[in-house]
Structure 1
Amino acid sequence: MHYFRYVGNKFYCENVSVESLVKKYGSPLYIYSQRTLTEHFQKLDQALAPVDHLICFALKSNSNQAVLRTLADLGGGFDIVSSGELQRAIAAGADPRKCVFAGVGKTESEIEFALKKGVYSFNVESEPELQRINRIAGRLKKIAPIAVRVNPNVDAHTHAKITTGTYDNKFGIAIENIEGVYARASKLKNIKLRGLQMHIGSQLTSVEPFEQAVKKVSPLVERLKKKHGLEFFSIGGGLGIVYDPALESSNPEWWRTTKGKKILTPTLYATRLVPLLKPLGLRILMEPGRFISGNAGILVTRIEYVKRTGKKNFLIVDAAMNDLIRPAFYDAYHEIVPLTRKNGQLISSDVVGPICESGDFFAKDRPLPKLGEGDHLALLSAGAYGFVMASNYNTRSMAAEVLVNGNKSALVRERQPVEEIWAGETVAPWQK
């Protein structure tokens, strides 16, 4: 579910006209719906109510301070993968004691910073990392809480670049080696074995891979709990969203189906997993990102030119792959709608950006109404892995970001001044 819809012929975010936001803040523009963020978090929270749990939002999916504050105010924790993300979360009002530190390449300075801030747990990816954490904790005279990330070798059946739970991936430790790792870790003086963690991939639209992974890992969890007194089991994130729905504002449950097929909802997810998790008697951590933020954001862009060739109708827009790289990087689909609804015959169009790369596109051969210079388009489901993956390629400024709450809106990131892009640069001494 999300709260982007047509009211009459105008596209709205909650109770605010998107067109009015573009007039005020310019284009390209990211717009987030606070109500959507809140409801997605709450639906997941309610679905997991039968077990003691903590939802740790994956900061890597959307790190805007206003988004993080929304989730922190709801009692959420955060899944962070760098000291920078931890600092961001704290600045937004997060409790470090509700933060888990993931990632395969934690540096010594990052580990030291996280220990000093008192994170809930480190998700350890290798034995060398375990040794490093123990050494740094000893130097700081602290006890480091850890959960080893188990790789269950379960195929998530998702895009190759976002699958993480097989032995072909760089993440975690093979399931058959975990008990030996815990036995060795239990002898380290500055380590507390707090839990076990897994994460098999992102954008999963079926519950079966989750169910398979939990069934496979649960016996291991029970043995580790009995031997080492574990407190929690983290089942990771990965719940997928609808990127290609029929946009029906009259149906608040449109997100339950796509092209006639049922998709993964919090209720279905919990119905299948809670009966497996409850007997463990542990706190359950979950680390969703896209599920909470993905459909809560859009990217608005202006058509600069309509270019017709013998074979193609190109809509050249002012947003580019540096603003939203998912189509170029993953061949990802984003629903595209005009801010003013138009009737008439649909035209097969390529929506492309101004960057000098053939990969700079948002859609190819997409049926769209007849549009012209100055019209605006909204790229839906851009709230996850959108702005966070943006760059200054072609010396292009970062877009502005806006948060909407009911009939209120606020600029939550200013458009980047172009001079700021090279503000930290200088010429060499011999060039002066």
Structure 2
Amino acid sequence: MNIASVHPLPPHIHYLNGHLCMEECSLEALAREHGTPLFVYSQAAMLNALGSYQRSLAGREHLICYAMKANSTLGILQTLVRAGCGLDIVSGGELERALAAGVAPERIIFSGVGKTRHEMRRALAVGIGCFNVESRAELDVLDSVAQEADTRAPVSIRVNPNVDAKTHPYISTGLKGNKFGIAHEDVVATYRHAAQCRGLRVVGIDCHIGSQITQTGPYLDAMDRILDLVQAIESAGVPIAHIDFGGGLGIDYNGDTPPAADQLWQALLDKLETRGFGDRKILLEPGRSLVGNAGVCVTEVLYLKPGEQKNFLIVDAAMNDLPRPAMYEAFHRIVPVAPRQDAPATWDVVGPVCESGDWLGRDRTLAVQAGDLLAVLSAGAYCMSMASNYNTRGRAAELLVQGEQVTVIRQRETAADQLRLESLLP
């Protein structure tokens, strides 16, 4: 039995007359017109996910900054910026993408552990809203760069609260063994130092404990630790204007049950009120939870390769298009675009890249033939943004759908596109 029949599809994806559709668009028709592999995103799904955050924070001073590392395609950024989002960036390249998407610079938050002097100078020149600083060394370099520019950099120090997010170790960021943030016990001294730096202006405190979090408990634990620190920092004479709780809320990949954003934030806001911090400006940096379930990757079945121990279903999408299974052994649901009534078999769905790690799904029950189309679900986050040209494969085209309207937001990359910046030896 196909997994789609036992686990409901996301609301914006449905079968109509035996064909899988996103909103009002046939995925088969889109694939035939634009080729495969093909990423297709639902604008309604993104806006509905954002709306859950916006409703929970209505009436409070806040800023929701989309963590654009999840998917930084300009059309995605524009969709969320026009709906009221700021942007959370982690590189100079993302800064340029953010500006190209039309976000106001003061609604940009610059996170990440390895900002360069050049990136700092550029961010100061355009007037971003805040730097989330992750080490004492970075703090001192930013102070120096800001003084050279005769300005003061707005800073928020990222705290590592040593809270277990109960997620994959590669995407856990709030434990002592992770590279992120300043250790809980060093935070007050670091704030005292920052307040004395002539090139810095302390504006907030930041915390982000990981990604694909499906429980409320880790957020509540982290909030308690952060609020304890705010009390200690302000007792040391350094005021904190905003509290940045990061992002990390998970999505449903395979029957996962993360809390809805509005339910999560009601619990967190209740704690803020109880602790006496209900008047503080709140910053959030959601990424995956806004775009993850909004996207699918449509891929064509190339070959069926039955074997003694495994049956392999070879498709034209690969680990360069969908890196998460190879990197994290992550699960993505895979469903037929036009289901067959044939007897199903169990397959490992694999791509054409020359690596044994190039797989998209293991032990999937599917009734398929060569030439059929499959949809890899929940492909809106950390797929295209992590895509590569391994094996000199061009990156896929991307489409954004709104009802019946379709917009090409990235053209398919050609071999000529990849070779353009290279030079032959004389």
Q: Which residue of 2 aligns with 1:116?
A: 125
User: 1:272: which partner in 2?
Assistant: 267
Q: Per-residue CA shift, 1:367-386, capped at 9, x if unaligned? A: 12x21111000000000001
| Partner residue in 2 for 1:301 | 299
Map residues 62-141 of structure 1 onto 2, 5 A cutoff. Answer: 62-141=71-150
Partner of 1:416: 413
Q: Secondary structure at the match of 2:196?
A: coil
Measured after TM superposition, the shift of residue 2 of structure 1 is 4.2
Match of 1:350 in 2: 348
- What residue is the counterpart of 1:49 in the other structure? 58
Q: Indicate the larger mover: 173-182 or 344-353.
A: 344-353
Q: Distance in 2 between matches of 1:114 and 1:60?
A: 17
Cα shift readout 1:408-428 (whole Å, capped 9, x = no counterpart): 001110001112212111133
Q: Does the Cα contact within 8 Å between 2:213 and 2:258 map onto a contact in 1?
A: no
Q: What is the identity, as a one-letter code, of the residue corresponding to 1:12?
A: C
Q: Could you say what the CA RMSD is over the residues aligned between the two structures, in angstroms?
A: 1.2
The 1-side partners of 2:60 and 2:190 are apart by: 28
Please name the residue that 1:291 is paired with. 289
2: CA distance, partners of 1:215 / 1:139: 38
- AA partner of residue 425 (structure 1): E
* Percent of residue pairs bearing the same amino acid type: 43
Task: Verify: 1:375 aligned to 2:375, yes or no.
Answer: no
Residue of structure 2 aligned with 1:39, choices 48, 51, 54: 48
Which whole-Å CA distance do the structure 2 matches of 1:8 and 1:145 have between them?
Answer: 55
Paired residue for 2:248? 238
Report how far residue 48 of structure 1 moved. Answer: 2.3
Whether the 8 Å CA contact 1:2–1:295 is kept in 2: the answer is no
Code of the residue aligned with 1:338 in structure 2: it is P
Matched position secondary structure for 1:153: coil
- Say whether residues 1:173 and 2:182 are aligned partners: yes
Q: Which aligned pairs between 1:25-36 and structure 2 lie closer than 5 A? A: 25-36=34-45
Deviations 1:291-338 (A, max 9, x none): 000001011100011111122221100111001110111000001011
Aligned letter for 2:269?
V
After the TM superposition, which residues 219-234 of structure 1 pair with which residues of structure 2 at under 5 Å, given as runs?
A: 219-225=228-234, 227-234=237-244
Q: Distance in 2 between matches of 1:328 and 1:346?
A: 25
Amino acid at match of 2:267: R
Letter in 2 for 1:46: R
Q: 1:403 aligns with which of 380, 400, 404?
A: 400
Q: 1:51 touches 1:274 (CA, 8 Å); kept in 2?
A: no
Report the secondary structure of 1:41's partner residue: helix
CA deviations over 1:33-55 (Å, ceiling 9, x no partner): 00001110011111122532111
CA distance in structure 1 between the aligned counterparts of 2:363 and 2:410, rounded to whole angstroms: 33
1:188 offset after TM fit, Å? 0.6
Structure 1: any 5+ residue segments left out of the alignment? 246-257
Check the 8 A contact 2:319/2:326 in 1, yes or no.
Answer: yes
Distance in 2 separating the partners of 1:224 and 1:49: 28
Give, in angstroms, the shift of residue 344 of structure 1: 4.7
Alignment partners' CA distance in 1, 2:175 and 2:60: 28
Give CA-to-partner distance per residue, 1:330-382, whole Å, 9 cap, x none: 000001011102335431111000011100000111112x2111100000000
Question: What is the identity, as a one-letter code, of the residue corresponding to 2:142?
Answer: I
Structure-2 separation of matches of 1:328 and 1:286: 29
Q: Distance in 1 between matches of 2:86 and 2:231?
A: 25
Aligned residue number for residue 323 of structure 2: 325
CA contact (8 A) 1:336 1:379 kept: yes
Looking at structure 2, the residues matched to 167 and 195 of structure 1 have their Cα atoms a distance apart, in angstroms, of: 22
Counterpart of 2:17 in structure 1 is 8
Gap regions ≥5 residues in structure 2: 1-9
Matched residue type, 1:231: A
CA contact (8 A) 1:2 1:296 kept: no
Q: Output the TM-score relative to the length of structure 1.
A: 0.93
Give the distance between the partners of 1:284 and 1:322, measured in 2 at CA. Answer: 37
Deviation at 1:263, TM superposition (A): 3.1
Contact kept, 8 Å, 1:124 with 1:130, in 2: the verdict is yes
Distance (whole Å) between structure 1 residues aligned to residue 126 and residue 191 of structure 2: 25
Quote the residue 1:255 is aligned against: none
Larger displacement relative to structure 2 (319-328 or 214-223): 214-223
Partner of 2:422: 425
Query: 1:80-109: per-residue Cα shift (whole Å, max 9, x none)?
Result: 001110110110111110110000000000
TM-score normalised over the length of structure 2: 0.95
- C-alpha distance in structure 2 between counterparts of 1:66 and 1:2, whole Å: 22
Contact 1:303 1:375 in 2 (8 A): yes
Distance 1:311 1:113, change over 3 A: same
